[in-house]
Amino acid sequence: MRTQVAIIGAGPSGLLLGQLLHRAGIETIILEQRSKDYVLGRIRAGVLEQGTVELLDEAGCGSRMRQEGLVHEGIEIAFGGARHRIDLKALTGKTVLVYGQTEVTRDLMEARETAGAPIVYEALSARISDIETGHPRVRYRKDDAEYEIECDYVAGCDGFHGISRQSIPEQALRTYERVYPFGWLGILVDKPPLADELIYVNHPRGFALCSMRSATRSRYYLQCRLDEQVSDWSDERFWDELERRLDPEARKWLQRGPSIEKSIAPLRSFVAEPMRFGNLFLAGDAAHIVPPTGAKGLNLAASDVAYLSRALASRYRSSSTAELDAYPQRALARVWKAVRFSWWMTQMLHRFPEPSGFDERIQAAELEYLFSSKLAQAALAENYVGLPY
Ligand code: RFL
Ligand code: PHB
């Protein structure tokens, strides 16, 4: 088989890249190691920046998102028994859209099927070779048969645990990492959200987040210890603990219900530089991870893909590689700003094990400064709605 760009991974990065390249007249094959249902069963991000929304429109996949997505003009931060609103719209002129990653993925999969572009699910043991030549190859196994794709470029969109980054020789990659001493326990429930906007909670018992997927489906998170298991948390224990971390007004509106999904995610910041080796380009979680506190992971995947799709389109239009050569630097400049913001939000909103008195006072001062300064709020808002690209 031959194609122009082989894309590894059918998460949001791979699917969006495939769609944008298809619209630019560039041939792709997407390889995904899991089944379609498995990919659609993962519950992840919920907040889209305006830039991500516009990119999905550009990819021709925005109609359901525009109909069903919830426009949010602000977020709330709860601390010390009071709630403080950050007015994103007034501070930046921009809003965010609450529309689940699952729905984004479904829309992109549908668009690919409509376009008749190839996507191979359950493509196992993918291996990339000849990366430094003009004819990289990707081999994989499906239903006990071996296949080989020859291509011009490989896009590594296979997430943090994928094989793309691992195919790059260690000495050609620099990695930066921070692992946080807690995780997020998330629950999805078919009950209306307790408020119209997201509430980020810094409570002495730990962080909590009240989010949503629609007017009838809520998503809640609790900071938990790294040694805890999902099985340690019955629904009842989850709701009791969430109630403890909420203010009385929020507690009044909380509607409990049976969980339809429950999972624990560890929190980390990670960046691999540069996001390229030979003719292999990394995008999304394959190159970087941020803790979810700033709602940046999916949005960073989208901005990587915007840069990469434009660079590949320019390469096929003009045969100049200048734009492709500029990709790592362009993408990483934006990545590091989102890494900083996500780290800062995480630092400000979670309770760390064994903090010193000094750490606690600094955290309180940070939050009190934020609540009292329009300029500090503007800086948060500018990052939350997404830096331009
Ligand atoms: P994905 O989504 O991990 O997709 C990678 C795909 O590659 C496949 N794969 C392979 N395929 C073929 N061969 C191999 N060897 C392969 N290895 C892996 C995988 O099966 C998968 O289908 O990465 P991608 O596309 O870069 O997308 C990144 C986003 O998924 C991620 O950044 C976000 O979900 C992060 N995130 C959030 N981001 C936001 O922007 N806003 C949020 O509100 C937000 N909330 C979250 C989050 C992530 C969370 N978790 C679970 C980590 C909340 C949570 C709890
Ligand atoms: C979510 O709804 O899953 C969500 C929202 C905001 C975040 C992280 C996750 O910061």
Per-residue pLDDT reduced to its tens digit, 42-76: 888 889 999 999 999 999 999 999 999 999 999 99
Phi, psi dihedrals of residue 209, rounded to the nearest 5°: -135, 130
> Ligand 1 within 6 A of 295 CB?
yes
For residue 349, which ligand has an atom nearest its CA?
A: 2
Do 131 and 251 belong together in one domain? no
Structural domain range at position 195: 180-266+352-385
Q: Whose CA is nearest to atom 2 of ligand 2?
A: 46
CA 11 to ligand 1 center in whole angstroms = 6
The answer for residues whose C-beta is within 8 angstroms of residue 27's C-beta and 6 or more apart is: 3, 4, 5, 21
In this structure, is residue 93 part of a structural domain?
no
Predicted TM-score (pTM) of the model is 0.96
Annotated active-site residue 204? The verdict is: no
How far is it, in rounded angstroms, from Cα 11 to Cα 13?
6
Do 46 and 105 belong together in one domain? yes
Annotated active-site residue 288? The verdict is: no
Instruction: Please state the atom number of ligand 1 nearest to the C-alpha of residue 140.
Output: 13
In this structure, is residue 42 part of a structural domain?
yes
Annotated active-site residue 327? The verdict is: no
Do 105 and 232 belong together in one domain? no
pLDDT of residue 319: 85
Q: Whose CA is nearest to atom 13 of ligand 1?
A: 33
The predicted-structure confidence for 174-200, as pLDDT tens digits, reads as follows 999 999 999 999 999 999 999 999 999
Do 136 and 228 belong together in one domain? no
How far is it, in rounded angstroms, from Cα 361 to Cα 110?
50
Do 275 and 311 belong together in one domain? yes
Across the chain, what does the average pLDDT equal?
Answer: 97
Do 251 and 276 belong together in one domain? no
Instruction: Please state the atom number of ligand 1 nearest to the C-alpha of residue 12.
Output: 25
CA 362 to ligand 1 center in whole angstroms = 33
The predicted-structure confidence for 337-369, as pLDDT tens digits, reads as follows 999 999 999 999 999 999 999 999 999 999 999
> Ligand 1 within 6 A of 224 CB?
no
In this structure, is residue 85 part of a structural domain?
no
Assess contact for 288 and 300: CB atoms under 8 A.
yes
Mean pLDDT across the stretch 96-111?
Answer: 96
Alpha helices in 1-127 (DSSP H): 12-23, 36-41, 50-58, 63-68, 88-92, 101-115
CA 317 to ligand 1 center in whole angstroms = 31
> Ligand 1 within 6 A of 334 CB?
no
Annotated active-site residue 200? The verdict is: yes
How far is it, in rounded angstroms, from Cα 67 to Cα 27?
30
CATH number of residue 197's parent domain? 3.30.9.10
Do 65 and 207 belong together in one domain? no
Do 111 and 235 belong together in one domain? no
Do 17 and 158 belong together in one domain? yes
Of the candidates 250, 296, 273, 110, which has an alpha carbon nearest to the alpha carbon of residue 286?
A: 273
What one-character DSSP code corresponds to residue 2?
A: B
Q: At residue 2, does pLDDT exceed 90? A: yes
Q: Which residues in 158-307 belong to E strands, given as ranges? A: 174-189, 199-203, 206-214, 217-224, 259-273, 276-277, 280-282, 288-289
pLDDT of residue 321: 96
In this structure, is residue 115 part of a structural domain?
yes
Assess contact for 167 and 125: CB atoms under 8 A.
no
Do 236 and 110 belong together in one domain? no
CATH number of residue 296's parent domain? 3.50.50.60
State yes or no: cis peptide before 274, omega within 30 of 0: yes
> Ligand 1 within 6 A of 13 CB?
yes
CA 30 to ligand 2 center in whole angstroms = 27
Substitution site in 43, 44, 296 for ligand 1 pocket (most atoms within 8 Å of beta carbon)? 44
In this structure, is residue 80 part of a structural domain?
no
The answer for residues whose C-beta is within 8 angstroms of residue 360's C-beta and 6 or more apart is: none
> Ligand 1 within 6 A of 6 CB?
no
pLDDT of residue 300: 98
Choosing from 22, 203, 288, 296, the catalytic residue is 296
Q: At residue 322, does pLDDT exceed 90? A: yes
Choosing from 72, 203, 288, 350, the catalytic residue is 72
Do 114 and 16 belong together in one domain? yes
Q: At residue 280, does pLDDT exceed 90? A: yes
- pLDDT above 70 coverage of the chain, percent: 100
In this structure, is residue 290 part of a structural domain?
yes
Assess contact for 4 and 26: CB atoms under 8 A.
yes
How far is it, in rounded angstroms, from Cα 317 to Cα 48?
30
In this structure, is residue 81 part of a structural domain?
no
How far is it, in rounded angstroms, from Cα 20 to Cα 309?
6
Distance of CA 352 to the CA centre of its chain: 23
pLDDT of residue 44: 86
Q: What is the domain count for the chain?
A: 2
In this structure, is residue 200 part of a structural domain?
yes
Do 164 and 310 belong together in one domain? yes
The predicted-structure confidence for 118-170, as pLDDT tens digits, reads as follows 999 999 999 999 999 999 999 999 999 999 999 999 999 999 999 999 999 99
Annotated active-site residue 94? The verdict is: no
How far is it, in rounded angstroms, from Cα 156 to Cα 5?
10
